[in-house]
């Protein structure tokens, strides 16, 4: 089936539920209010499509800041609205379409008809591409299918090595200077399943022996000096009964330590006495959500035209001058058709029991996520800053692709209860490796993601 036909049929399937989208997503301090605002019984929104945007007072060329934040109150998540009110400037631009990488389109056409879910929600007969290009809003498993589409999104499919990623943590009184700063040599994945560009594909033979869907690594820490050499490796299995295997490396003791997977829903903190890690972001929130799909129950709250940063103008990104550097701005935001999905942790040990995701229906990445504490109060909010081009930075010499693709340039994770915020920069403005993103180029192999490799990777 041609990709254009897939997309057209998908939109036909979605017309009914689009008409029932909620009118607003008001600033709510608890999850119940957010869910109520998105109920199908709510009145149709005047922002249901870009053609009606001007009638509601929002136009391309508008600049949104703390003074007029109310104009976008219904078009961002409750948590992201707090970011705008505290000074995160938004430049409103026209909506632009995204195209999937050609190999990903072909894989979706070839393999998606065979994919299904078990009654328990596990993915079966998946090979490569988007698992579920056609969605029925009346399907009781539609929310889970959306999450599987996010998990196998067209952002990277074989391997990725984001080099010299940097994380800065800011407080309400930091005035642009980070209270903590971390530089990390590699931030990457190697996928055994769903490979489409770099041999072996579509499945690495390692999968048959290990059952590992992908390996993920963050190592070695280069800054601060007290954490030099620290690292973390995480293995994700296709078997829903197999929980993630997680190791971290303590250079001061030259030891590998195991971690319980549920502990990654909390910030790293003082890991094994390595060093205080002052941050607001937890490993389960990388890229908006990185926990195992099967560890949560999902509910589709609705679909809606909302604002997201998808065609960012700045690369590298820089701190917002209006809020003490706690976010990224000014940046381009456009109306996007988003799925709003509620995720509730099955394990009572999960530090973040309740999340609400805003997922782009074209690129399948998370544009925003709000996190709620055990009392149902809004705790943290995530905003992602993405761009769509054939290279991650204008001056790239190596990371240049034959087609446009998505790059996440920054992720803001703010604790709205304390005002502390962490930003992942990919790349950071002063990075010695400004290209940062190497996607589906074979730059890393499975060997790089072995836990034992962390002890051999200290960079001086």
pLDDT of residue 53: 55
Mean of pLDDT values over 149-177:
92
Least reliable range by pLDDT among 32-41, 232-241, 252-261, 417-426: 32-41
* Per-residue model confidence as pLDDT tens digits over 398-411: 999 999 999 999 99
Distance of alpha carbon 381 from the chain centroid: 12
Split at pLDDT 50, 70, 90, the class of 276 is low
Distance CA 330, CA 81 (A): 15
| % of residues, the chain, pLDDT over 90 | 77
How buried is residue 456: exposed, middle or buried, by Cβ count under 10 Å (0-12/13-18/19+)? exposed
Helix, strand, coil percentages (3-state) for the chain, rounded to 5, are 20, 30, 45
* Per-residue model confidence as pLDDT tens digits over 334-345: 999 999 999 999
Distance CA 346, CA 224 (A): 36
Residue 11 pLDDT > 50? no
Distance of alpha carbon 308 from the chain centroid: 12
pLDDT of residue 270: 59
Place of tokens 């280069």: 222
Reported as half-sphere exposure (CB side, CA atoms, 13 A), residue 398 has a value of 13
pLDDT of residue 403: 95
Neighbours of 362 (CB within 10 A): 17
Distance CA 64, CA 54 (A): 15
Distance CA 110, CA 126 (A): 11
pLDDT of residue 273: 52
* Per-residue model confidence as pLDDT tens digits over 304-323: 999 999 999 999 999 999 99
pLDDT of residue 177: 86
- Find the helix packing angle between 3-19 and 102-111, rounded to 10°: 80
* Per-residue model confidence as pLDDT tens digits over 56-106: 579 999 999 999 999 999 999 999 999 999 999 999 999 999 999 999 999
pLDDT of residue 113: 98
* Per-residue model confidence as pLDDT tens digits over 375-392: 999 999 999 999 999 999
Distance CA 22, CA 301 (A): 9
| % of residues, the chain, pLDDT over 70 | 85
Distance CA 98, CA 297 (A): 29
- Name which residue leads in pLDDT, 186 or 6: 186
Which residues, 6+ apart, have CB-to-CB distance to 324 below 8 Å? 87, 170, 171, 172, 173, 174, 175, 176
| Helix segments in 128-224, DSSP class H | 142-151, 206-210
* Per-residue model confidence as pLDDT tens digits over 218-254: 999 999 988 899 999 999 999 999 999 999 998 888 8
- Name which residue leads in pLDDT, 220 or 20: 220
pLDDT of residue 176: 76
pLDDT of residue 277: 65
Q: Which helix (H) or strand (E) holds 109?
A: helix 102-111
Model pTM greater than 0.85? Answer: yes
pLDDT of residue 41: 29
Split at pLDDT 50, 70, 90, the class of 268 is confident
Task: Give yes or no for a contact between 355 and 308, defined as CB atoms under 8 angstroms apart.
Answer: no
Residue 296 pLDDT > 90? yes
In 3D, which of 331, 307, 306 has the Cα closest to residue 317? 331
Residue 35 pLDDT > 70? no
What's the Rg (C-alpha) of the chain?
A: 21
Task: Give yes or no for a contact between 371 and 354, defined as CB atoms under 8 angstroms apart.
Answer: yes
pLDDT of residue 56: 55
Residue 289 pLDDT > 90? yes
Split at pLDDT 50, 70, 90, the class of 271 is low
């Amino acid at each position: 089936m041609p990709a254009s036909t897939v997309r057209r049929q998908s939109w036909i399937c979605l017309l009914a539920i689009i008409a029932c989208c909620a009118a607003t997503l008001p600033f709510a301090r608890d999850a119940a209010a957010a869910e109520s605002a998105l109920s199908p019984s709510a009145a149709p929104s005047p922002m249901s499509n870009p053609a009606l945007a001007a009638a509601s007072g929002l136009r391309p060329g508008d600049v949104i800041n703390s003074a007029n934040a109310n104009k976008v109150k219904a078009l961002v998540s409750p948590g992201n609205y707090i970011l705008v009110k505290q000074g995160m400037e938004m430049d409103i631009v026209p909506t632009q379409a995204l195209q999937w990488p050609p190999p990903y389109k072909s894989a979706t056409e070839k393999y998606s008809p065979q994919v299904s879910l078990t009654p328990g929600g596990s993915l079966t007969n998946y090979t490569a591409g988007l698992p579920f290009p056609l969605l029925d809003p009346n399907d009781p498993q539609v929310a889970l299918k959306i999450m599987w589409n996010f998990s196998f999104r067209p952002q990277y499919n074989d391997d990725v090595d984001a080099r010299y990623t940097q994380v800065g943590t800011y407080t309400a009184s930091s005035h642009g200077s980070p209270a903590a700063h971390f530089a990390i040599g590699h931030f990457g994945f190697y996928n055994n399943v769903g490979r489409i560009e770099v041999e072996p594909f579509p499945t690495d033979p390692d999968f048959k022996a290990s059952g590992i869907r992908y390996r993920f690594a963050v190592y070695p820490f280069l800054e601060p000096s007290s954490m030099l050499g620290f690292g973390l490796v995480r293995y994700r299995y296709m078997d829903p009964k197999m929980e993630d295997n997680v190791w971290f490396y303590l250079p001061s003791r030259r030891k590998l330590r195991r971690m319980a997977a549920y502990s990654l829903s909390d910030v790293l903190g003082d890991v094994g006495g390595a060093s205080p890690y002052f941050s607001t972001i937890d490993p389960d929130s990388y890229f908006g959500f990185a926990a195992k799909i099967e560890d949560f129950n999902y509910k589709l709250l609705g679909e809606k035209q909302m604002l997201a940063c998808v065609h960012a103008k700045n690369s590298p990104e820089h701190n917002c001058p209006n809020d003490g550097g706690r976010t990224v701005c000014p940046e381009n935001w456009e109306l996007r058709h988003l799925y709003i999905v509620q995720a509730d942790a099955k394990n009572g040990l999960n530090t973040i029991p309740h999340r609400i995701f805003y997922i782009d229906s074209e690129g399948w990445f998370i544009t925003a996520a709000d996190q709620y504490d055990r009392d149902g109060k809004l705790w943290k909010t995530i905003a992602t800053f993405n761009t769509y081009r054939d290279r991650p930075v204008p001056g790239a010499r190596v990371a240049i692709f034959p087609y446009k693709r998505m790059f996440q340039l920054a992720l803001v994770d703010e604790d709205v209860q304390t005002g502390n915020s962490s930003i992942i920069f990919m790349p950071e403005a002063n990075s010695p490796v400004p290209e940062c993103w190497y996607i589906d180029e074979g730059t890393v192999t499975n060997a790089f993601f072995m836990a034992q490799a962390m002890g051999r990777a200290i960079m001086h």
